[in-house]
Structure 1
Amino acid sequence: MPQQQKKNRPAEAKLNILVVGAGLGGVGAAISSLLAGHSVHILESASGIGEIGAGIQVLPNSSKVLKYWGLEAALTAQAILPKRANLLRWKEGTRLSSLDFAASAAKYPGTSYWDFHRADLHRVLIQRMLELGGTVECAARVVDVRTNVEGQKSDATVVLADGRQFTADLVVGADGIHSRMREILVGKPQPPTKTGDLAYRLLLDTNEMLKDPELAPFVRDEEVNYWIGPDIHVVTYILRKGSLCNMVLLVPDDMPADGASTLEGNVEEMRALCTKWDPRISKLLALCSNVSKWRLCIVEPLETWYHPSGSFVLLGDSVHATLPYLSSGAGMSFEDAAVLGDCLGRLRATSVAEKLFALKVYQQCRKERTEMIVQRGSMQQILYHLHDGPEQEERDRRLAVNDSAKTDSEMEAGEALVWRDPILAPKLLGYDHLIDVSLDPMNQIVSRLLIDISSL
């Protein structure tokens, strides 16, 4: 895919856009909209710019979008290119199956599997957004959005907690899973749905791992490892040129039902969860001195992602937060941003009709796909966490069949190594947003979306 060039847009078709939220999805939306030739200002509620968390895996579909935005060189300098994904048996640590990432990426030309520290990925995105002329403002918490339609024009005014107001032709809500923008659009509280799992997230010093012959291969091999077992799975992969090991334990949620979604974790309690697992896990956890734990939630589907005024739309986790079990949460946000930017790049004017046209195409491209990802993430929760028994044996049998298959036609669908699944993998990893939006938006509306043009 060629690198996208910034459009020189005529004034009559140029939007002033406000993006609410400076996370990965929000900054991605800003980049895509700026490349489409619009003006963008980001409002961020936090007092400073920065991503929390640790590691993030970027799959081929996401890497395609990031390269299209002109980020390949900057991100390659920050990335680890993992060699394989390994699914391991929980108790013994024996390999159940594996996927060669280079061979997988080769099926989707021009793409990559990348592993990053989230802060590094976020920093590169922020830099690109600023290069393109975008701006960002912190300590700007949005409490309300007021839409306005006058004749053929519409706008939206955001109200901040400190009383300030900003008006734009389009407001993009990208404020995450605990989204105030979602509540405003729907008109009532929309809390996320608990999944029954939480994540312990930690970063380990690889210098300490290299001192132990049993742990050193995890550093040297630069592979992604998944131990899967009863009610729990554990993930490790390497970051920052081999200096850090990202480790995540996905376990049953024991956090207070009405408490905060992020808490400081108890290291001893975390270690006790895996005492009967592969002894190497206990060795890794012994290197950890502190940890945070995060409740894992999803967002139930909304009927519509945008306001009928054409001046307010949702994106990313605010509308389709998913379990991280496909490594696709941020990837779906990047795809959202790319599709939205391409739709806005086709505007001929700033009228209500033109904006609604773009937002309807955006939603049609994204809604079904992201809902499928949320559903498959919940399926992965089941597959990863099976107790030993007939269902686990069938899961492992399917993994073995696909591990030895010579062609895709010999593989069985619905397997736990999802990036190899013969049905899902091409849909997930081979996605091309330009094809999805289509080179002929009118044809797409007529033949695919079945939208009554007269209603616009």
Structure 2
Amino acid sequence: MSSHVVGAGIQLPANSSRILEELGLLRTVKRASIQPSKLLIRSYRQEKLYEQALNPAIEQKFHYPHLLIHRAALIRILYAEAQSQGATVHFGACVEKVEFSEVPKVELVSGRRYEADLILGADGEHSVCRELLLGRRDPPHSSGDMVFRLFIPISKMSLQPSLAFLVDPLGVHAWYGPNSHAVCYPLPKEGIFNVVLTFPEERDALTIGPQPADLDDIRNRCRKWDPEFQHLLRLADKALKWTLLQTDELETWVHPSGRLALLGDSAHATLPYLYVSFPSFRLQV
């Protein structure tokens, strides 16, 4: 499975670790993860705004750790576990329609049909199942924000003494600017430092799915930011961008027949910075 297809890092707070423990997967996930020591938030002008101990403090308080893992590694673990439990996974199985009869049926674009007792539509923010439940088109719409992702080789950073604090000790670092913010953390098992910036989307700039981004544009947006952050951006050699999408709230996630239910982003696409473990605020500076 290509790491480039499924994104970069994902943070697993204590609640997520608890669920993984209940599934019997926490030990395996921990082996593929790192445990950051702290979260440090700065103003884009360098001022320290907030610091929170993560590990081992989080595990001592909540009994489960805060983890960082590459999405591809997490998906591989979940996929292997699903197979070990008897699940059959079919790739490229695009749903065409669902029949809400006594025995519900799913028909794929290929024409293949499946019968089931219950259908769970966990097909993301571009959900086909959501529209079938509603009986109408309901595409996601722009949140007004654009995300930029940069991957920086940790080997490059190790040659820059002024950036050593970003990778040793391992931690999560954030900068907050005017209507914008950046969240960064290392993924040492993959040898990369993950940088994600969020800015207001420009007019008529809707970008569906990750697309190549102009590094000079990103650096220009941050030209008044912390010099150390600007130094970090200069080490990047490629970047991606996409529009953050959101969906309208539904009255119900379950079809009246009780045979189809939505899960995850198909039911409630959530913006990534509305994250319960970190302060969800933006500085107006």
Q: Per-residue displacement from partner, 1:151-191 (whole Å, max 9, x unpaired)?
A: xxxx2111111211111111110000111111110111112
User: Which sections of structure 2, spanning at least 5 residues, go unmatched?
Assistant: none
Q: Does 1:95 align with 2:48?
A: yes
Counterpart of 1:214?
162
Pick the structure with more helix per residue: 1
Stretch of structure 1 that moved more, 166-175 or 186-195: 186-195
> Could you tell me how far apart the structure 1 residues matched to 2:26 and 2:90 are?
26
Determine if contact 2:119/2:259 at 8 Å carries over to the other structure: yes
Q: Per-residue displacement from partner, 1:195-245 (whole Å, max 9, x unpaired)?
A: 111111122111100111111111111110110110210111111337221
Counterpart of 2:67?
114
What is the TM-score normalised by the length of structure 2?
0.93
Q: Does 1:269 align with 2:217?
A: yes
1:261 CA drift (Å): 4.1
Correspondent of 2:110 among 162, 166, 179: 162
Counterparts of 1:178-189 in structure 2 under 5 Å? 178-189=126-137
Counterpart of 2:230?
282
Q: Does 1:65 align with 2:65?
A: no
> Could you tell me how far apart the structure 1 residues matched to 2:221 and 2:205 are?
20
Q: Does 1:132 align with 2:85?
A: yes
1:248 CA drift (Å): 0.5
Correspondent of 2:34 among 76, 80, 91: 80
> Could you tell me how far apart the structure 2 residues matched to 1:210 and 1:294 are?
29
Counterpart of 2:172?
224
> Could you tell me how far apart the structure 2 residues matched to 1:301 and 1:106 are?
36
1:94 CA drift (Å): 2.8
User: Which sections of structure 1, spanning at least 5 residues, go unmatched?
Assistant: 1-47, 150-154, 329-372, 389-456
Counterpart of 2:9?
55
1:58 CA drift (Å): 0.6
Counterpart of 1:152?
none
1:126 CA drift (Å): 0.6
Alpha carbons of 1:259 and 1:202: their partners in 2 closer, same or farther (altered >3 Å)?
Answer: closer
Stretch of structure 1 that moved more, 273-282 or 95-104: 95-104
Determine if contact 1:78/1:240 at 8 Å carries over to the other structure: no
SS at match of 2:160: coil
What letter is aligned with 2:228? R
Alpha carbons of 1:252 and 1:52: their partners in 2 closer, same or farther (altered >3 Å)?
Answer: same
Determine if contact 1:49/1:138 at 8 Å carries over to the other structure: no
Q: Does 1:324 align with 2:272?
A: yes
- Percent identical pairs in the alignment equals 36
What letter is aligned with 1:127? A
| Structure having the higher Rg | 1
Counterparts of 1:242-321 in structure 2 under 5 Å? 243-254=191-202, 256=204, 260-321=208-269
Determine if contact 1:116/1:240 at 8 Å carries over to the other structure: no
> Could you tell me how far apart the structure 2 residues matched to 1:119 and 1:166 are?
28
**How big is the alpha-carbon RMSD for the aligned residues of Structure 1 and Structure 2?**
2.1
Q: Does 1:173 align with 2:121?
A: yes
SS at match of 1:226: strand
Correspondent of 1:147 among 72, 97, 100: 100
> Could you tell me how far apart the structure 2 residues matched to 1:237 and 1:147 are?
45
1:255 CA drift (Å): 6.9
SS at match of 2:100: strand
Alpha carbons of 1:202 and 1:234: their partners in 2 closer, same or farther (altered >3 Å)?
Answer: same
What letter is aligned with 2:175? W
Q: Per-residue displacement from partner, 1:92-148 (whole Å, max 9, x unpaired)?
A: x23211111132332222x11000111011111111111111110012110211110
Alpha carbons of 1:145 and 1:255: their partners in 2 closer, same or farther (altered >3 Å)?
Answer: farther
Stretch of structure 1 that moved more, 262-271 or 57-66: 262-271
> Could you tell me how far apart the structure 2 residues matched to 1:250 and 1:259 are?
14
Alpha carbons of 1:139 and 1:257: their partners in 2 closer, same or farther (altered >3 Å)?
Answer: same
Pick the structure with more strand per residue: 2
